[in-house]
Amino acid sequence: MKEYITSQHRYYTLDYYLKKRFDKKVFKVALNGDFTCPNRDGTISNRGCIFCSPEGSGEFGGRRGDPLDKQFREVKNIISLKWPDAKYIAYFQANTNTYGPIEKLRKLFYEAINLDKDIVCLSVATRPDCLDSEVIDLLSEINKIKPVWVELGLQTINEETAHLINRGYTLDVFCDAVNRLRNAGIEVIVHIINGLPYEEKDDMLNNIKFLNAMDIQGIKIHSLFILKGTDLETLYYEKGFKVLTLEEYVDITVSQIALLRSDIVIHRINGDAPKDQLIEPKWSLKKLVIMNEIDKRMRDASLYQGIYYKK
């Protein structure tokens, strides 16, 4: 039996990994560095990915324009009441966090890792087409001081779907970015979405098979959210596509975990949608129910992460 299997979970959870690595409870603090996105400012497109809200990604990050110290302290002051000896990850979440002048990136990233003595890691969410050599050199430089993670939104390996969702880059761009980050010693976490328009279960399992062959260290599995004011909402109402049921999502996600390489840390098995913006699927708001159903299904079927993985 794998060492990360607990009475609660049968897969390699982020919580287990962080406690083992840092020997403390570790929390991510989502920071807003006031970035935009080339898929919104007209460089690639002015529409963004079709599932992104009009405000862009990072709805749960800090307030745009607030100093980083204020953003961090507001979260830490609450967490420390219950976990006074907790550690923290400075997480640049909102929009594309390597899309800007290198001087801005250097200032923000160094400021972030020095906000507090209890910050143990820097995590940066970005696009694979916004990682030139200068940016990777900077991240590598910081990685020698504190661990750096880069989160990349792949969503799907299906190029037709990627075009439909207006992702704005091809699969080879993603692969090149992963390889260059890993050559620089930087850990990579990949986001995928289950339930993208017109995709079938095999498409979603193929995402896992593909990533198993990549040198990645973590994965975030999300369900598709249809949010108000998005191009996805227009597609849903005008042309229609099937939205996964909770049962289908659990079945697909369990199958993905069983296929997933056992050393890849699972950072998420479902995302968080803004409740006031969510159209479908409504069940995605029941986060604990989803996690419990996945765990129950895996226990009942005697499954665990990587049981079906083949090189």
Q: Please check whether residue 180 is in contact with residue 136, taking contact to mean a CB–CB distance below 8 angstroms.
A: yes
Residue 306 lies in a domain: no
- Location of structure tokens 């890849």: 264
Q: Distance (Å, rounded) from C-alpha 240 to C-alpha 225?
A: 14
| 307: in domain | no
Mean pLDDT of the chain, nearest integer: 94
Considering the domain boundaries, does residue 36 fall inside one? yes
**For residue 183, is it within any domain?**
yes
Q: What's the 3-state SS for the chain?
A: CCCCCCCCCCCCEHHHHHHHHHCCCEEEEEECCCCCCCCCCCCCCCCCCCCCCCCCCCCCCCCCCCCHHHHHHHHHHHHHHHCCCCEEEEEECCCCCCCCCHHHHHHHHHHHHCCCCCEEEEEEEECHHHCCHHHHHHHHHHHCCCCEEEEEEEECCCHHHHHHCCCCCCHHHHHHHHHHHHHCCCEEEEEEEECCCCCCHHHHHHHHHHHHCCCCCEEEEEECCEECCCHHHHHHHHCCCCCCCHHHHHHHHHHHHHHCCCCCEEEECCCCCCCCCEEECHHHHCHHHHHHHHHHHHHHCCCCCCCCCCC
Residue 270 structural domain:
14-300
**Within-domain flag for 102:** yes
CATH of the domain at 194: 3.20.20.70
Question: Per residue in 213-250, is it b (16+ CB within 10 Å) or e — as a string?
Answer: ebebbbbbbbbbbbbeebebbebbeeeeeebbebebbb
C-alpha to C-alpha distance for 124 and 149, rounded to whole angstroms: 6
**% of the chain residues with pLDDT over 70:** 97
pTM of the model: 0.94
- The reply to whether 158 falls in a domain is yes
What's the pLDDT score for residue 64? 82
For residue 231, is it within any domain? Answer: yes
**305 domain-assigned:** no
CB 123 within 8 A of CB 30: no
* 10-residue mean pLDDT series, the chain (311 residues): 78 95 94 93 88 67 85 95 96 94 97 96 97 97 98 97 95 98 98 97 98 98 95 94 96 98 96 90 93 95 94 81
> How many domains are there within the chain?
1
DSSP-derived pairing of the beta strands 26-31 and 187-194: unpaired
pLDDT tens per residue, range 174-215: 999 999 999 999 999 999 999 999 999 999 999 999 999 999
Residue-level pLDDT at 55: 65
